[in-house]
Amino acid sequence: MAVQTKIAGLGHYVPENIIKNQDLTQFMDTSDEWIQERTGIKERRYGAKHNETTTTMGAQAATMAIEKAGISKEDIDFIIFATLSPDYYFPGCGVLLQRELGITKTEIGALDIRNQCSGFIYGLSIADQFIKTGMYKNILLVGAEMHSMGLDFTTEGRGVTVIFGDGAGAAVLQPTEESGKGILTTHLHSDGTHAEELAFINPGSHGGYHLKDKDFGYPPENEPGGIFVTQKMVDDGQLFPNMNGQVVFKKAVVKFPEVIKEALEKTSLSSEDISLLVPHQANLRISAFVQRSLGLRDDQVFNNIQKYGNTTAASIPIALSEAFQEGRVKDGDLICLAAFGSGFTWGSALIRW
Ligand code: COA
């Protein structure tokens, strides 16, 4: 009997602190109207600076997913953690999550993936391969972000800052032999030619030397080693993410429908068969474009960006967990997940619940 991968439990966590669009106007030249009109976002959550991190939020979501799956944390045999805002540069959040959850056994692997907005779909595809080959039985997949610690709250950073929020989502993946159920297909893509269009470039191993057009205040090239963070970087506000919003938008509205259609074609299904599309919550206008180009009804698409902003790797698992709680994901439903983001990387998954 062929083994497929099912989502046995879902969890999510968003911090209590609600930041409304109006709250951001204290720091930067923006408005509730501009943000809502361009992105659909009304508010987002920010983690508590003194006691929350990407890992602690991930642990909250993971605890819920483990409970919903009806297993114990000791049953987890592999962790996959997707984030672009890790607690440390290294080690990654996978091992930190293991510690935070109090999983003391060492017969467990922990993998960190850095695929930004498509991190959850990449993680799902990796988990699917490990389950199908019989290597693991209970994989914990987490997407979590603490963006608020790394955003530019001046007017210069407004194009990026207003979009992003904090939160975490998680899923427990298990094998199933129930015919036709579970993950039917996953599709992953990348195109590195636009890497810098949506990127957090400093600090990095480029040491500034490979970015000749930029002056980061580095020492001369003949000195050994480099300086990871320079005072000039701090002074010039170069320690923040940058985004070419229009390039991202134009690519996203093409790649989202394309990769969804690829999954439908692979499984000989059509967009009418989709019970619920849970797209990465990048921007409400992008979701509306995708909905229109696939001819989907409103009830076939789940959006919660209005409440949480774009939570990058956390956005799909938060949305999926909320959709499940609201009764919009039922036994036998065809669930479609899709994402596009920095890299660029993009992907899709079709799941028969
Ligand atoms: N508040 C007010 N004005 C803002 C602003 C803000 N938060 N951010 C940018 N602006 C200004 C710009 O400075 C610009 O002003 P100018 O015309 O005087 O130069 C003007 O608004 C238009 O900026 P532009 O970047 O052309 O706006 P846009 O219509 O492309 O919308 C985004 C910007 C970011 C909302 C849009 O490009 C987008 O959604 N892109 C996709 C982003 C995304 O999904 N990223 C995540 C990928 S996973």
Express each pLDDT in 169-186 by its tens digit.
Answer: 999 999 999 999 999 999
Domain count, the chain: 2
Both tokens of 276, joined, read 């619920």
Same domain membership, residue 278 and residue 297: yes
The whole domain housing 307 covers 182-195+242-352
Residue 36 lies in a domain: yes
Which residue carries 């109006």 as its tokens? 22
Residue 76 lies in a domain: yes
Backbone angles phi, psi at 273, to 5 degrees: -75, -15
**CA–centroid distance, residue 284 to ligand 1 (Å):** 13
Sign for the CA dihedral angle at 347, 128, 12, 142 comes to negative
Question: Residue 10 and residue 251: Cα distance in Å, rounded?
Answer: 30
For the Cβ of 245 lying below 6 angstroms from any atom of ligand 1, the answer is yes
Please tell me the predicted confidence (pLDDT) of residue 228.
75
Same domain membership, residue 331 and residue 293: yes
Residue 214 lies in a domain: no
Backbone angles phi, psi at 83, to 5 degrees: -160, 155
Backbone angles phi, psi at 114, to 5 degrees: -125, 70
Tell me how far apart the terminal alpha carbons of the chain are, to the nearest angstrom.
18
For the Cβ of 304 lying below 6 angstroms from any atom of ligand 1, the answer is no
The percentage of residues in the chain with a pLDDT greater than 90, rounded to a whole number, is 88
Same domain membership, residue 338 and residue 191: yes
Please tell me the predicted confidence (pLDDT) of residue 18.
98
Same domain membership, residue 56 and residue 133: yes
CATH number of the structural domain spanning residue 334: 3.40.47.10
293-334 pLDDT, tens per residue?
999 999 999 999 999 999 999 999 999 999 999 999 999 999
Same domain membership, residue 147 and residue 100: yes
Final residue of a domain: which of 176, 211, 234? 176
- Helix (H) / strand (E) containing 263: helix 245-266
Q: Which residue puts its alpha carbon closest to atom 23 of ligand 1?
A: 159
Question: Residue 340 and residue 330: Cα distance in Å, rounded?
Answer: 26
Question: Residue 28 and residue 1: Cα distance in Å, rounded?
Answer: 59
Question: Which residues of the chain register pLDDT less than 70?
Answer: 207-227
Residue 228 lies in a domain: no
Q: Which residue puts its alpha carbon closest to atom 21 of ligand 1?
A: 159
Question: Residue 12 and residue 281: Cα distance in Å, rounded?
Answer: 15
Same domain membership, residue 257 and residue 144: no
Atom number in ligand 1 closest to CA 116: 48
70-99 pLDDT, tens per residue?
999 999 999 999 999 999 999 999 999 999
Atom number in ligand 1 closest to CA 38: 35
Residue 77 lies in a domain: yes
Q: Which residues pair with 36 in a beta bridge?
A: none
Residue 261 lies in a domain: yes
pTM higher than the cut 0.85: yes
Atom number in ligand 1 closest to CA 30: 1
Please tell me the predicted confidence (pLDDT) of residue 79.
98
Same domain membership, residue 255 and residue 141: no
Contacts of 226 (CB under 8 A, 6+ apart): 207, 208, 209, 218, 219
Look at residues 117, 341, 346, 166 and name the one whose alpha carbon lies nearest to residue 244: 341
Residue 209 lies in a domain: no
Same domain membership, residue 266 and residue 168: no
